[in-house]
Chains A and B, each alone.
Chain A
Amino acid sequence: SQTIHQWPATLVQPVGSPLSLECTVEGTSNPNLYWYRQAAGRGLQLLFYSVGIGQISSEVPQNLSASRPQDRQFILSSKKLLLSDSGFYLCAWTPAYGYTFGSGTRLTVV
């Protein structure tokens, strides 16, 4: 079956520290993959999407970056976190219809 895994579930990081969030998809090949951020009580903001290995498109300029080292792996990174990076980060992919989301990572930058 097709599943999406995202970890960690929660993360508390100090300002200026690095970040690495990982997302993997099982049961499919060459999926379109997405990173979204959701600030508390607000809508979904598309950060990055990828249509294949090494192919990353950025929607919003910021201090975050994304990489796709393998077909079913999508990584969200930062070299130095800002307070404004706090939020709920969601990975998503596109099966036959719509998007399927991971369980999310709650990031708090302190």
Chain B
Amino acid sequence: GESVGLHLPTLSVQEGDNSIINCAYSNSASDYFIWYKQESGKGPQFIIDIRSNMDKRQGQRVTVLLNKTVKHLSLQIAATQPGDSAVYFCAETYGNNDMRFGAGTRLTVKP
């Protein structure tokens, strides 16, 4: 479900390093997952998605990994840049049901 009452966990990385952001989802029936990036003062933007029949999907500098056994989703960002600093949300859904969002992780990239 939605962890809206929790303060956001934070991740601080050095510019150029790889970042790994993790998300635990709650519904074992969820079959579609999305990672969103939200910059300060803006709405969330789609980054990458994955369906439950896959365990890995790659985009430009980003990779999403899905482990259905432990209901875990991760977002890997290669060669992290200052422009990657934002809050990252995972989201899950199944069938035509509404999407449910995780609490989010704040990524800070140090120059």
To the question of whether A and B form a pair in one complex, the answer is yes
Q: Which residue of A lies closest to B104 (CB)?
A: A43
CB distance from A86 to the nearest CB of B (A): 15
Q: Are A101 and B2 closer than 8 Å at their CB atoms?
A: no
Known: A43-B89, A44-B2, A49-B98. Is A103-B43 also a contact (CB below 8 A)?
yes
Known: A39-B4, A42-B7, A97-B49. Is A106-B41 also a contact (CB below 8 A)?
yes
Q: Are A90 and B2 closer than 8 Å at their CB atoms?
A: no
User: Which range holds the interface residue count of chain B?
Assistant: 20 to 34
A interface size (C-beta, 8 A) = 23
For chain A, residues 54 to 110, give those with C-beta under 8 angstroms from any C-beta of chain B. Answer: 88, 90, 92, 94, 97-104, 106
**Bound-complex Cα distance A35 to B86 (A):** 21
**Bound-complex Cα distance A6 to B32 (A):** 27
CB distance from B36 to the nearest CB of A (A): 8
Q: Are B102 and A43 closer than 8 Å at their CB atoms?
A: yes
**Bound-complex Cα distance A41 to B10 (A):** 10
Q: Is B77 close to A, CB under 8 A? A: no
CB distance from B30 to the nearest CB of A (A): 13
Q: Are A45 and B2 closer than 8 Å at their CB atoms?
A: yes
Q: Is B34 close to A, CB under 8 A? A: yes
Task: Give chain A residues whose Cβ lies under 8 Å from the Cβ of B6.
Answer: 42-43
Q: Is A46 close to B, CB under 8 A? A: yes
Task: Give chain A residues whose Cβ lies under 8 Å from the Cβ of B4.
Answer: 39, 42-45
Query: Using an 8 Å CB-CB cutoff, how does the interface string of B22-49 with A read, 1 for contact, 0 for none?
Result: 0000000000101010000111111001
Sample of 12 A–B contacts (CB below 8 Å): A41-B7, A43-B3, A43-B89, A44-B104, A90-B43, A98-B32, A99-B99, A101-B36, A101-B45, A103-B42, A103-B43, A104-B42
Query: Lowest 8 A-B CB distances belong to which pairs?
Result: A101-B43, A45-B4, A43-B103, A44-B101, A43-B4, A98-B34, A104-B43, A101-B44
